[in-house]
Structure 1
Amino acid sequence: MTICDDLRQAVLQAAIQGKLTDQRPEDDDANVLCENIQSERELLANTFGARKEKLKGLFSMDELPFEIPAAWKWMRIGELGLYKKGPFGSALTKSIFVPKSSSTIKVYEQKNAIKRDSKLGDYYITKEYYEKSMKGFTVRAGDIIVSCAGTIGETFVMPNNIELGIINQALMKITLVPSIQLSFFLLYFDFVLKDSAKSQSKGSAIKNIPPFEILKNMPMPIPSLAEQKRIAARVDALMAQIDDLEKTENELEAMKKAFPGDMKASLLQAAMQGKLTQQFKTDGGAVDILKSIKKRTMVEDDAHDVDIPPNWEWAILSDICEMYTGNSIAESEKAQKYAGLKEGYDYIATKDVGFNHQVEYDNGIKIPFDAASFRKAHQDATLLCIEGGSAGKKIAILDKDVCFGNKLCMFFSPNLNKRYLYYYLQSPDFTSVFANSVTGIIGGVSIKKLKAMTIPVPPLAEQERIVAKLDKLLPLCDGLVEY
């Protein structure tokens, strides 16, 4: 399943449990609603000549799949309307079908439900046979038709002005009572009954809708009619957002093909040039952020090959960030003085920062809180490896204050969104400059060179939009390309 599939499942789960919308005391009592439903069902049965349902009585605790709000009630599916499966196979064979004419009756098929189109299909029976044997299978505007074999549980609400017709063997039709919101019923049906059909079916061949005895006795939570409408509206809105996210996933797949191996780099580069998010005049200018810097080195716009939006500013990293490396500890000293301490700052070495941007805090080494000679890195600061084979590759945001090693450099700025700074230090605009600055046998970049490097500074609101966009897009890349 994709991320979007998981999100859809989570939304539906929350919806049917009453966790997606607020409960309102002014809503009608669900007890009254349930009484109305029972009366409406009897009226439907009398109108269409349906037999009285023989359903189980009160629910046992093991029948109820989850808790619902106190104002809601449980009813059995069979109490909510009329249900009819198509005729037995021998009652509707190909030998009975006739060409369409002004006196024929349409036979609706499974593809009408699956493709949600009432006009598909060209099977018809005579009006005489319909009146004699098939009238009880008539489908009307507003009825729900459900695919019952193979591709199970696909639903379609029959529109107005459909041809007079019947359902075939692979369909079931549902005529709901008026007090059940159609869209609320369908989302419950989609979430619960499809799973039930899969679990109830036997073998690995064709899956089937559960037998009526099981289906009609299934429990369904009933909120007030007003709450049903709010839930359906909320689900529609969230599903639209998930559909948009799915489009993003599809765009990422296309980007994978266009930029194999470089998708994250492409996204980060676009973000740091103002090309990933929309610019708003109401954001003001980044110059407002930089006013608080007492000593600021001016950076000329033409000093960079990269263009940034006009309300952004360039800044020297050391002007806008705290930057310093940590302390080196000899292995013998580490084992004798700092291993096994119960209290103190966790000491983070390069090996404790993963290529997956996670930090291993519980490594057995702690520095006493009163050890003044050790440099501290703030919670929410970024640690970047600047020396050795991992230089420029290992990077992480800290969850708490720590002490750290001399091959790591801390970056912290009260003027920048913490994740904006973190993402910039991974962007091609920074990493290319970093790579060109590596010197020495071991390979590394001096703190002096780091401090002289620059960073594009958007307005704070724009930083937040960039971070939100990257937080959404970059995780989706992980399953598509190697980072």
Structure 2
Amino acid sequence: MAAVEKLVTDHLDLWTAAIKRKSAAGRGSSSRVELYGIKKLRTLILDLAVRGMLLPQDPRDEPASELLKKIAAEKAKRVKEGEIKADKPLPAIEDVEKPFKLPSGWLWERLPNISFFQEGPGIMAKDFRSAGVPLIRISGMHGTLVSLNGCNFLDREMVAKKWNHFCLEEGDILLSSSASLGKVSKVGNDAVGGVAYTGLIRFKPYKPLFDDYLIRFFGSNEFVRQIDDSKKGAAIMHFGPTHLRWMIVPLPPLAEQHRIVAKVNELMTLCDQLEQQTDASLSAHQTLVKTLLNALTSAADHAQFASAWQRIVEHFDTLFTSEESTDQLKQTILQLAVMGKLVPQDPNDEPARELLEKIASETAKLVKEGKIKKEKPLTPITEEEKPFELPTGWDWARFD
């Protein structure tokens, strides 16, 4: 167990050093890169948590078998009171279904036996209103608590008539079941009485299961693995209650659930701090790289250029350590090339003016032979159009 903790908390520089450019990102600030190592660290923390490897077990804890008895009693009570419908008993979990061995005192249990869940109703756009009952959408799933961001509204009478059993209660859990797999939030005061839209699944865990433990399980690789397996190769992003019916959950004793969630929260806070520090460091690093490279392109003469280049050379291994900074260097090299600052000029070279005259002669020849059409003469290039001063022998020309 000590080795596992060292894996998470020691050598944090290795986790923070692993970054990659976002797939759709261009060039620029640290917002263009993904802190890949810290993202993987978060996943590792959750995977260790649901395997019982994040903390030592306490033999004094009441085992999960006793917890399941209490959960079963709570479920039976809800059925008797008409809050939920009785469902068919699920088969026992076979050994071949269990992906890994659990610690002593833990048990595997099927998800429907520990939590009620339902998918949001199929509501059409024609049912939307300008006010009324909030219809919670995935845009409200970006924090710990469900928000009303991007929500539509439904007629109150229609909700009471058709969708009353979908109305949310405080403490319910909403899970995204579409492309944003893994987004999960609790229902707070703002969303009470609202309805979850299609693409969100509502969970009401049976007590005394600790709902925050279930939330952490939803963020683990084991949850994603079982979802993927249940699709049986289908090329779909969405999953629903059918895929969840056979899911099995690694269930610790209740006391250990609380300890696990507390430790996960502590480590996730550490990851938040690492992200902030790394992002700030990346921003500062990229600003420094940009400033030093800009000094090359803005150098007024050879002396300034040599001085700027010397500053870069002295710290080259520190400056160009990422894909982002290396890419900035490549772009600067190309910019220096077209500015005439990459290599010295040779006064013996035929000037660009002579080249342009030959090009004009060739163009006229192609027009005469009918290979290209004659274009209207372009306006001369004004001084205001020229972005920088060219070396002797160079000239500006319109692309045509």
Shift of 1:29: 2.3
1:220-249, Cα deviation, whole Å (9 max, x unpaired):
111111100000011111111122222232
Shift of 1:30: 1.7
Name the CA shift for 1:479/1:6 in 2 (closer, same or farther; >3 Å): farther
User: What's the offset of the Cα at 1:56?
Assistant: 3.0
Local SS of the residue matching 1:260: helix
* Residues 415-460 of structure 1: CA deviation (Å, up to 9, x unaligned): xxxxxxxxxxxxx9xxx9xxxxxxxxxxxxxxxxxxxxxxxxxxxx
1:3-23 Cα offsets, whole Å, 9 max, x none, are 111211211111111111111
Q: What's 2:341 paired with?
A: none
Contact 1:142 1:160 in 2 (8 A): no
User: Once the 2 structures are TM-superposed, how far is the Cα of residue 212 of structure 1 from its aligned partner?
Assistant: 2.3
Q: If the length of structure 2 is used for normalisation, what is the TM-score?
A: 0.60
Name 2:133's counterpart in structure 1: 105
Question: Quick one: which of 11, 26, 35 aligns to 2:69?
Answer: 35
Alignment of 1:224-235 (within 5 A): 224-235=253-264
Instruction: State the AA in 1 paired with 2:171.
Output: G
Q: Cα RMSD over matched residues? A: 3.0
CA deviations 1:148-198 (Å, max 9, x no partner) are: 222223111001354422222222100011221122111111113344445
The CA deviation at 1:47 is 4.1
Amino acid at match of 2:125: K
Displacement after TM superposition at 1:28 (Å):
1.0
In the superposition, relative to structure 1, how do residues 14 and 51 fare at CA in structure 2: closer, same or farther (>3 Å)? Answer: same
Who is 1:207 aligned against?
237
**Unaligned segments of structure 2, at least 5 residues:** 1-34, 293-310, 327-400
Q: State how many pairs are aligned.
A: 266
Give me the whole-angstrom Cα distance separating, in 2, the residues matched to 1:163 and 1:37: 24
- 1:131 pairs, out of 139, 152, 160, with 160
Assess if the C-alpha contact under 8 Å between 1:253 and 1:480 holds in 2.
no
Which has a greater percent of strand?
1
Say which SS state the counterpart of residue 180 (structure 2) adopts.
coil
With over 3 angstroms needed to count, the CA separation of the structure-2 counterparts of 1:190 and 1:53, relative to structure 1, is farther
- 2:114 is aligned, of 60, 73, 80, to 80
Report the 3-state secondary structure (helix = DSSP H, G, I; strand = E; otherwise coil) of the residue aligned with 2:129. coil
Q: Which residue matches 1:24? A: 58
Q: How does 1:75-224 map to 2 (within 5 A)?
A: 75-88=109-122, 92-100=123-131, 104-114=132-142, 116-160=145-189, 162-191=191-220, 192-198=222-228, 200-201=230-231, 207-209=237-239, 211-224=240-253
Report the CA distance shift for 1:242/1:218 in structure 2 as closer, same or farther (over 3 A).
same
Q: Which residue of 1 aligns with 2:104?
A: 70
Q: How far apart, CA to CA, are the structure 2 residues paired with 1:71 and 1:20?
A: 15
Classify the secondary structure of the residue corresponding to 1:140: coil
Q: Which residue of 2 aligns with 1:49?
A: 83
Q: How far is 1:262 from its partner?
A: 12
SS in 1 for 2:289: coil
Distance across 1 between alignment mates of 2:57 and 2:186: 28
Q: Which sections of structure 1, spanning at least 5 residues, go unmatched?
A: 264-427, 433-473
CA contact (8 A) 1:184 1:228 kept: yes
Does 1 or 2 have the higher relative contact order (CA < 8 Å, sep 6+)?
2
CA drift at 1:53:
2.7
- Equivalents in 1 of 2:229, 2:323: separation in Å? 30
Matching of residue 10 in structure 1 with residue 44 in structure 2: yes
SS, match of residue 187 in structure 1: helix
Q: Work out whether residues 55 and 216 of structure 1, in 8 Å CA contact, stay in contact via their aligned partners in 2.
A: no
Q: Residue 167 of structure 2 contacts residue 194 of structure 2 at CA under 8 Å; is this kept in 1?
A: yes
